[in-house]
Structure 1
Amino acid sequence: MGVKNLFLTGCATSLISLNLFSQDKPNILFIAIDDLNDFVNCMNGAIRAHTPNIDRLAKQGTLFTNAHCQAPISGPSRACIMTGLYPSETGNYLQVNDDNIKRSNKKAGESVFMADYFENYGYKTMAVGKIFHNGDGANSFDEYGGRFDWFGPKPTERINYDPAKLPHKSGSTQTDWGAYPEHDSLMTDYKVAEWAVSKINSNFDKPFFLAVGFLRPHVPWYVPQKWFDMFPVEEIKTPPYLPDDFNDIPDFAKRVADAPMMPTTEELIKSGEWKDVIQAYLACIAFVDAQVGKVLDALEKSKYVNNTIVVLWSDHGYHLGEKNRFSKQALWER
C-alpha cells in the first residue's frame, strides 16, 4: 500500500454522518499512525505484520480498504483530513504547521478544523502526539499533551544507515534502523499512549474528542530488541520488485522517485539488508499496535465504552522496496 489510508471506525456509523445535534452525543477517539502501510494483518498486504489490536478494532467496526490519501506526505495529507479540503483547494502541498494551514488562500482561511467543529457542538477537544504535521497543538485543541521526545529517543550515533558517510548520497534523512532503546517506556509512543489512557480514565462533564497521534512506523525504525525478535530475518518476505520498473514512467515521476538521501532496493539487495529494513518496519508496527491496544483496553474498561466512536487512520503508506524505493511521496498503488 504505497499511499492508501488505513481508516477504521469502531462502530458501523460513519463519522461523516454523525449527528451532533442529538442529545446523546458520542465521544470520539481519533487515532493516527504515521507512515503505516498495508502490512497491517487485516489489510491483507503482501507482508503481514503482527497487529492483533488493530485487527480486533477492524472486526468490531468498518474497515475501509479502498480509502486513498490526497497527498502521500504528512503535511498536506493531515491538513486535508483535518479540514476536509483537498490540497488543491487549500494550496497546502508541503510540510506546513497547523497554524499556517489557513494562511495559504481564502478557502483555506475559511475552513474549520475538525477539532473546532466538535468544539462548536459542545465537545471538549484533546490531543497528544502527532495529529497535524507540525506546530503547537495547544493552538488547535482545548488540551494538548505534547509530543514528548518527538521521533526519539535516538542513539548517539546511527546504527545501520548514515547517508553522510556514503559518497553517492546527498541530503539528510532520519532513516536508520536498529534495536534501541532498551525499554518501551522510553519511547515517545509509549508516553503518548499513557497520556491518552489517563484522559480516558478521567471524568468529563461534556462529550470529548480525543486525538491520539502515534509516530512509529515513521523513521527512524528504532524500537527495543523484543519487537525485532518477533520477526526472524530468515522468515522475512520481500514485496514484489522489478529492476526495470522505472523504465515506463515519465521523467517527472523519476525525479520524484529519486530521493538521493535514501537507500534504493538495488543497494539493499547488494548489501544484504533489504530484509533487515523490513524487519525493522514490522517491529515498529508491532510496537505501535501494542500502544493502540493499551488505549483500546482502557476504553473498554471505562464508563465511555458504550458511547464512543473509534477512528484509526494513517496519513499515507510507505514503500519498502517496491518501485526501487524506500520512502513515501509517490502516489502509487499496488
Structure 2
Amino acid sequence: MKPIYPLMGAAAFCSLSVQAQEKPNFLIIQCDHLTQRVVGAYGETQGCTPAIDRVAEQGVMFSNAYVGCPLSQPSRAALWSGLMPHQTNIRSNSDVAINPMLPESVPTLGSLFSADGYDAVHFGKTHDMGALRGFKHKEPVPQPFSDPEFPVNNDSFLDVGTCQDAVSYLSNPPQEPFICIADFQNPHNICGYVGSCQGVHTDAPISTPLPALPDNFEVTDWNQIPQPVQYICCSHRRMTQAAPWSDENYRHYIAAFQHYTKMVSKQVERVLQALYSTPAGRNTIVIIMADHGDGMASHRMVTKQISFYEEITNVPFIIAGPGIKQQKKPVEKLLTQPTTDLLPTLCELAGIAVPSDKPGISLVPTLKGKKQSATHPYVVSEWHSEYETIVSPGRMIRSDRYKYTHYLEGNGEELYDLKTDKGEQRNLAKDPKYSRVLAEHRAMLDDYIVRTGDDYRTLKVAADKQWRSHTPGYPSHKGPGARDINNRK
C-alpha cells in the first residue's frame, strides 16, 4: 500500500527509535461521534476512513476501548483530566449553572505537559468545562459551504477552520516538543441531519445504493430492557424526531453518517500530511480516538443518549509512531478506558510523572510489545443526564466477557454475553442460568462505588411519568418529547 505520508513509509513509521529526540511529540486527533463500525481498520465498514486506517496499520489498535460517559462534555472533561465523571462532578452537557468548572487544583493533561516544557496547543471543539487547562486554544472560524448529498451545518463548517489551523501549526512546528490536539466535530453533523429529516419522509438525498441495516436493528423485546432506555424517545430530541422513521429512513441515516465520516477523514488526512511534511513528524506519536460513538441504527437508535450499547461506548482508540511496536491485529484481550488511561500512557511516553490521584493505567507495555502487567478487571461508563430535563443515573460494567448495566430508575438491569451476543439483543439479567454471573457483576459495581467514592446510590431520579406513559419502544412514541417541550420554553 502506498503511504499517505510523504516522508515516512510504514516501516519507517514503526521502526524509528524514540531516542531520535529526547522527548517525543504527540498529535491527538479526536472525532465527535466516531464509532468503531465506520472505521475500516476495525473491519466492518470499508472505505470511510482511509487515513485513519493507515495509521492503524502502522501501530496499535485497541478493540475494547470504553468511554467514561457516552455524552460529549462529561466524556471530554474526564478525558483531559484523567478522572471519571463522578470525580470531576461534570455529569451533563449543561453549562456552569449546573456543572462546576474543573478546579484549578486538578492536574490536567495540558497542565502536566506544559509544565514539562511542551508546547501544548488545541484546535477545534472544546466542551470541556476547564479540563483543557494548560493547552493554548485557538477557536476555529466556521467556513460555510454547501453539500450536494446531505445537509451540512456549523459542525462541518467549524471543521474546515480546525483543519486549517492544525495544518498551519504542524507545517511549521516549534523547536521544543509539542502536544497538539486536532479536535473535530464530525461526524457530529449527523445530529443536524436527524433534525432536517425528522418524521417519516420519502425523499432520497442520494442515488447510490443504501447501506444495509445492522443485524441488531430490531429490539426483540422492549419490555426486557430498562425503562429509561425504553423511553429515550421521550428524553432525547433526536430520538423523538426519528421515532416514526421507516426502515429506509434509517438506511439513509447510516449513509449520512458514513458521508460525514468520509468528510472528516479527508481532513484528518490533510492534518497527517502536514505533520509528515517536516522532520518533526518522524518523532511524533499519533493518537486517534473519539469522545463517544453513535447508535448507527442499532436497537433503532440514532445519535446517543443514556444507553451503554457497544456502538456508543466502545470507541476507536489507535496509537502509532516512534517507539510503538506495530501489531497486525487489534488488541482484543485487554480492556482499556481511554478516559482514564490516555493521561498516564502519554505521560510515561514523555517521561512525565503521573499524579497519584489518577485512576488510569499506562498502556505503554502493550504499545512496546511487552506484557501488560497492570490491567483493568473491568471498565466503567457512567450516565447522569443530558440537560437535566430528565435525570436517570446509570452505570455500565464491562468485564472480559459480559456487559452489565444498572439504572436507578426502576432498578433496571441488563446483562449481555458479548461472546455469543455481540449485538446485545438478549438481556440475561432475569435468566436464572446467569444468576451467578449477575451477582458477580453486581459485586463489581459495588466495588467500583466503594473504591472510587462514587455517589451513585445516593443520586436522585427525576423523570416525569408523562414521559413514561406510552407503550415501551420508540416506534410507539406519542406526542412531543421532554426535550422538545423544554426547548419551546
Give the TM-score normalised by the residue count of structure 2. 0.51
What is the match of residue 95 of structure 1?
A: 93
Q: 1:314 & 1:254 partners in 2: Cα distance? A: 26
Q: Quick one: structure 1 residues 275 and 134, their matched pair in 2 at CA, closer, same or farther if it must change by over 3 Å?
A: same
1:102 is aligned with what amino acid? Answer: L
What is the match of residue 42 of structure 2?
A: 43
Aligned to 1:281, the other structure's residue is in SS state: helix
- Kindly report which structure 2 residues correspond to 1:138-157, keeping only aligned pairs within 5 A, or say none: 140-141=133-134, 143-149=136-142, 153=144
Aligned to 2:263, the other structure's residue is in SS state: helix
CA contact (8 A) 1:30 1:212 kept: yes
2:178 is aligned with what amino acid? Answer: F
CA contact (8 A) 1:76 1:92 kept: yes
Are residues 1:332 and 2:331 paired? Answer: no
Aligned to 2:260, the other structure's residue is in SS state: helix
Shift of 1:217: 0.4
What is the match of residue 284 of structure 1?
A: 260
Q: 1:12 & 1:247 partners in 2: Cα distance? A: 50
My pick for the range that moved more, 77-86 or 258-267, is: 258-267
What is the match of residue 338 of structure 2?
A: none
Aligned to 1:311, the other structure's residue is in SS state: strand
Aligned to 1:212, the other structure's residue is in SS state: strand
Residue of 170, 173, 184 corresponding to 1:200: 170
Q: Quick one: structure 1 residues 245 and 303, their matched pair in 2 at CA, closer, same or farther if it must change by over 3 Å?
A: farther
Q: Quick one: structure 1 residues 259 and 48, their matched pair in 2 at CA, closer, same or farther if it must change by over 3 Å?
A: farther
1:41 is aligned with what amino acid? Answer: G
Shift of 1:128: 0.8
Identical columns (%): 26
Q: 1:179 & 1:221 partners in 2: Cα distance? A: 6
What is the match of residue 178 of structure 1?
A: 150
Are residues 1:72 and 2:70 paired? Answer: yes
Are residues 1:116 and 2:92 paired? Answer: no
CA contact (8 A) 1:317 1:328 kept: yes
CA contact (8 A) 1:35 1:316 kept: yes
CA contact (8 A) 1:246 1:323 kept: no
What is the match of residue 244 of structure 2?
A: 267
Shift of 1:259: 3.8
What is the match of residue 129 of structure 1?
A: 124
The number of equivalent residue pairs is 279
My pick for the range that moved more, 289-298 or 247-256, is: 247-256
CA contact (8 A) 1:124 1:206 kept: yes
Shift of 1:246: 2.4
Shift of 1:324: 2.1
- Structure 2 gap segments, 5+ residues each: 1-11, 195-205, 311-422, 424-489
Aligned-residue CA RMSD (Å): 3.6
CA contact (8 A) 2:30 2:291 kept: yes
Aligned to 1:178, the other structure's residue is in SS state: coil
Shift of 1:59: 0.6
Shift of 1:254: 2.5
Residue-by-residue CA offset, 1:98-148 (whole Å, 9 max, x unaligned): 994424xxxxx5321111110011111111101x325689x8345322032
Displacement over 6 Å in runs of 4+: 10-13
Residue-by-residue CA offset, 1:56-78 (whole Å, 9 max, x unaligned): 01011111111000100001111
1:326 is aligned with what amino acid? Answer: V
CA contact (8 A) 1:77 1:316 kept: yes
Q: 1:62 & 1:82 partners in 2: Cα distance? A: 21
Q: Quick one: structure 1 residues 97 and 140, their matched pair in 2 at CA, closer, same or farther if it must change by over 3 Å?
A: farther
Residue-by-residue CA offset, 1:264-301 (whole Å, 9 max, x unaligned): 7662216x322221111100000100000001111122
Q: Quick one: structure 1 residues 145 and 266, their matched pair in 2 at CA, closer, same or farther if it must change by over 3 Å?
A: closer
CA contact (8 A) 2:233 2:243 kept: no
- Kindly report which structure 2 residues correspond to 1:234-253, keeping only aligned pairs within 5 A, or say none: 234-240=209-215, 241-253=217-229
Residue-by-residue CA offset, 1:32-74 (whole Å, 9 max, x unaligned): 10001121111223x4452110000101111111100010000
Aligned to 2:276, the other structure's residue is in SS state: helix
Shift of 1:263: 4.3
Aligned to 2:287, the other structure's residue is in SS state: strand
Q: 2:130 & 2:227 partners in 1: Cα distance? A: 38
Q: Quick one: structure 1 residues 298 and 282, their matched pair in 2 at CA, closer, same or farther if it must change by over 3 Å?
A: same
Q: 2:82 & 2:130 partners in 1: Cα distance? A: 20
Q: 1:214 & 1:203 partners in 2: Cα distance? A: 20
Q: Quick one: structure 1 residues 49 and 259, their matched pair in 2 at CA, closer, same or farther if it must change by over 3 Å?
A: farther
Return the index of the structure with the highest Cα Rg. Answer: 2
1:129 is aligned with what amino acid? Answer: G
Q: 1:27 & 1:260 partners in 2: Cα distance? A: 40
Are residues 1:321 and 2:297 paired? Answer: yes
- Kindly report which structure 2 residues correspond to 1:21-60, keeping only aligned pairs within 5 A, or say none: 24-38=22-36, 39-45=38-44, 47-60=45-58
Shift of 1:11: 7.3
My pick for the range that moved more, 193-202 or 260-269, is: 260-269
- Structure 1 gap segments, 5+ residues each: 1-9, 14-18, 104-108, 160-176, 223-230
2:298 is aligned with what amino acid? Answer: E
Q: 2:221 & 2:277 partners in 1: Cα distance? A: 49
